[in-house]
Chains A and B, each alone.
Chain A
Amino acid sequence: MDRPAEQGSILTRIEDYFAGRFVAMASPCTVLIDGDDGEEAAALVEIAACEALRIEHKFSRYRSDNIVHEINHAAGRPVTVDDETAHLLDYANTCWEISEGLFDITSGVLRRIWKFDGGHKVPGKQAVEECLRHVGWSRVTWQDKTLTLPAGMEIDLGGIGKEYAVDRAAALLAARTKSSCVVNFGGDIYAGGLRRNGRTWSVGIDDPGRTGKAALYRLDIARAGLATSGDARRFVRWRGKRLGHILNPKTGWPVLGAPSSVTVVANTCLEAGTLSTLASLQGPEARTFLEQQNVQFWIV
């Protein structure tokens, strides 16, 4: 745990709290600490950065030295995983069950044929069918901490990894300090309680059309997780429509009519992230879906 953030972190004092910034998981990350002790704040930012890098290192599918690489290159052989990976796979399995197969960590191979770069290129029917043969959590065997993936299939924990990292980092901070903290990894957020002045934390949500330029909403949260699904910059044009990057693992096509952005507030960041993804997968039914879940949400 004594590893510095690879790209370093920057700590600044803003009004009566500290803000630490670093880059992890290909995202800008921020940790806010409601306190006056600069040394403590720096140590807390370091803890959050180390945890983000640890989880990125362990679960990124872009690395060749981790468990995800081992699973994706097992060529049909069973792979026994450590406890933490097993818990994540159990969670992914539950998400797959409750979404009736729409949330599927094996659907990442579809990205080989879909390029969401704002262009017009849409894969042919044959390419989609070929690709779908390597998609489907129902084809894997997952029991006793051992995962057997048919050759050619892959898993991608990117859909839950960042939210998981937020909750993990928040738990580490809560164990180290009594100060209220906000952990924000690329827009996936956990706020750890009311501030000293009795106020909530205020979180800005970007206008999907003008990302990074203006906050569309300001949300006040005290102790909650918040996550947004949807990225307005990642789409492909098809017959005059913009298709977002959320793929339906059953059809091999982007979900039609999905909102460009879904933000959910729940008890944990993980839960918020999963609910926002599940909502996006419902397409035009996203709002109805979220209304049934009894959560705070914003749809754009």
Chain B
Amino acid sequence: MQLEGGTGSSLRERLNKAALALLLVPAAAAAADLPATQIDTTTLYYGEQDRVQVVEPVVRATRLFGDGQILSVQLAVDLITGASPSGALPTGVPQTITSPSGKVSSTPAGAIPTTKFQDHRGGLDADWQTPIGKYFNSTLGMHASREKDYQSLGVTAKVSAEMFQRSLTVTAGGGYNWDSVFPVGGTPIGLSDGTEVTNGKNSKKVESFLFGVSRVMSRRWLLGLDASRTLERGYLTEPYKVISLVSFRSDSPIGQLTDNRPASRARSSLLASSVYHLDQDILYSSYRYYKDSWGIRSNTVDASYRHDLDDGWYLEPHARYYHQTAADFFTFGIVAGLAPPEYATSDYRLGQLTTMTLGLTFAFHVEDSPALWTVRADYIRQAGSGTAPENLGSASTFDLNPAINTISLVVGYSFNM
């Protein structure tokens, strides 16, 4: 649109300037005031090599109201099948494992024993964001999810304030979760052979707090710093995980004990993130430091680069590096006859772990439709490290932490109603 051009009078000069100020506001920003419902649907496929397969369809509806309120509701279903390492050690002879419910599974010689499972989970999340006055925003949220042996109910609340001409945003919030775990076949007693179980629900309560600051450094650069603290109390053990019991007198494990973890865990994390707008593209980067009272320390570096193509299409390559140290009570096995530890786990997720992720997102429109399709593919390579101590017998000759390759594929479709 031609907005410049000869004016010739001071009145027209002023009118021209005023019209320019009004009409040069991006049309998209003006259109955003329209009450609209955006529907985002995604389907995640996640497949660990020879292990877990997850299919997760998600539907999210976000409604923007003219007065700045935003309501968003999300429904997700997870369908999980596959096998997860039980925690037991591999041996030179095939092992047979009998689960508390009487199911028998066997593991070939030298392979990591796994437990087969199948589960589905349904989850509902809702967030309601509302402006309070000119400079404040509040968000209230709720969460409910349920699976065969786990239920989670939670609430969150968050307030953010904008200051210094909206160049600085400060956010503070908290949440509370009431979870319960009710393992199939009862809850085994920790560090036992698993035959004795208690029935009923085990509760787990989670309190979380967060505090964040984000600052506009320049027209192109946004920096954020977020600190969070989470306190978990209650039943934090994985009821289906086991630890091999080894003996100096035998090459192979002589039995297995159930997992047992402390009844509280305090987690803290600090996240620094940056969004930098180049002439057309956007560079996102972040670093996260995490530690918890179980002795796990982790570092995460994440970067992605969004390259805009024509017509609202874009490509976004993504890379992530994650490393964590093992929990204090992580062990590959327990030696029979020695004083047993108070807590122990062989769950690889609490061991030393390094994960590399490489991914690519491609977003596009199909001709004549404003709806946006996104396809995201990630390759994840996860590797533990460390070998079992000598006293674990033949197990120490096997690779206890083979690298796991995972492919995750997300297809998304978003449109406005």
Where the two chains meet, the residues of A that have a C-beta atom closer than 8 Å to any C-beta of B are 1-2, 39, 43, 51, 54, 57-58, 65-67, 80, 82-84, 87-88, 90-91, 94-95, 97-98, 144-146, 164, 167-168, 170-172, 174-175, 190, 192, 223-224, 267-268, 270-271, 274-275, 292-295
Contact = CB atoms under 8 A, between A and B. Distances in A.
A66 B133 CA distance: 18
A190 B66 CA distance: 28
Interface residues of B, number: 37
A171 B23 CA distance: 9
Given A87-B22, A267-B3, A2 B11 contact: no
B2 A292 contact: no
A54 B34 contact: yes
25 contacts: A1-B31, A2-B370, A2-B415, A2-B416, A58-B66, A66-B66, A82-B68, A83-B29, A90-B22, A94-B15, A97-B14, A98-B14, A164-B23, A167-B19, A223-B2, A224-B2, A268-B1, A268-B2, A274-B15, A274-B19, A275-B12, A275-B15, A292-B11, A293-B8, A293-B11
Contacts of B33: 58, 82, 84
Contact of B11 (A98, A223, A267): A98
A65 B34 CA distance: 12
Nearest to A87: B22
Given A90-B21, A294-B12, A295-B12, A168 B368 contact: no
B339 interface: no
Interface string B74-105: 00000000000000000000000000000000
Given A98-B11, A167-B1, A1 B416 contact: yes
Contacts of A294: 6-9, 12
B4 interface: yes
A190 B34 CA distance: 23
Chain A, interface SS category: helix
A65 B224 CA distance: 37
Contacts of B22: 87-88, 90-91, 164, 270
8 smallest CB-CB distances across A and B, nearest first, come from A294-B8, A94-B18, A84-B30, A91-B22, A267-B5, A87-B22, A271-B19, A270-B19
A293 B1 contact: no
A145 B134 CA distance: 10
A91 B2 contact: no
A57 B6 CA distance: 34
B338 interface: no
Interface in B1-58: 1-9, 11-12, 14-19, 21-23, 25, 27, 29-31, 33-34, 36
B12 A293 contact: yes
Contacts of B370: 1-2
Contacts of B366: none
Nearest to A295: B12
Given A168-B30, A175-B27, A95 B134 contact: no
Nearest to B20: A268
Interface of B: 1-9, 11-12, 14-19, 21-23, 25, 27, 29-31, 33-34, 36, 66, 68, 133-134, 368, 370, 415-417
Contact of A91 (B11, B18, B27): B18
A48 to B, nearest CB: 12
Given A54-B34, A168-B30, 7 more contacts: A1-B34, A58-B33, A65-B66, A84-B25, A94-B18, A146-B134, A267-B19
B14 A94 contact: yes
B1 A170 contact: yes
B9 A87 contact: no
Contacts of B5: 267
Contact of A98 (B4, B15, B23, B30): B15
Nearest to A223: B2
Contacts of A268: 1-3, 19, 23
A171 B27 contact: yes
A186 B25 CA distance: 24
A21 B6 CA distance: 33
A299 to B, nearest CB: 17
A70 B45 CA distance: 47
Contacts of B36: 1
Nearest to B10: A98
A87 B31 contact: no
B23 A95 contact: no
A96 to B, nearest CB: 11
A80 B4 CA distance: 31
Nearest to B34: A54
B21 A91 contact: yes
A183 to B, nearest CB: 11
A267 B33 CA distance: 27
A270 B9 contact: no
A149 to B, nearest CB: 18
Given A1-B416, A91-B21, A164-B22, A84 B29 contact: yes
A71 B21 CA distance: 22
Contact of A292 (B3, B9, B18, B68): B9
A98 B13 CA distance: 10
A271 B2 contact: no
Given A83-B29, A95-B18, A98-B14, A293 B9 contact: yes
A138 B246 CA distance: 90
B297 to A, nearest CB: 45
B129 to A, nearest CB: 16
Contacts of B27: 51, 168, 171-172, 175
Nearest to A65: B66
A82 B33 CA distance: 8
Contacts of B2: 223-224, 267-268
Contacts of A94: 14-15, 17-18
A58 B31 CA distance: 11
Contact of B15 (A54, A84, A174, A271): A271
A88 to B, nearest CB: 6
A27 to B, nearest CB: 20
A167 B2 CA distance: 10
A295 B23 CA distance: 20
B18 A171 contact: no
A68 to B, nearest CB: 12
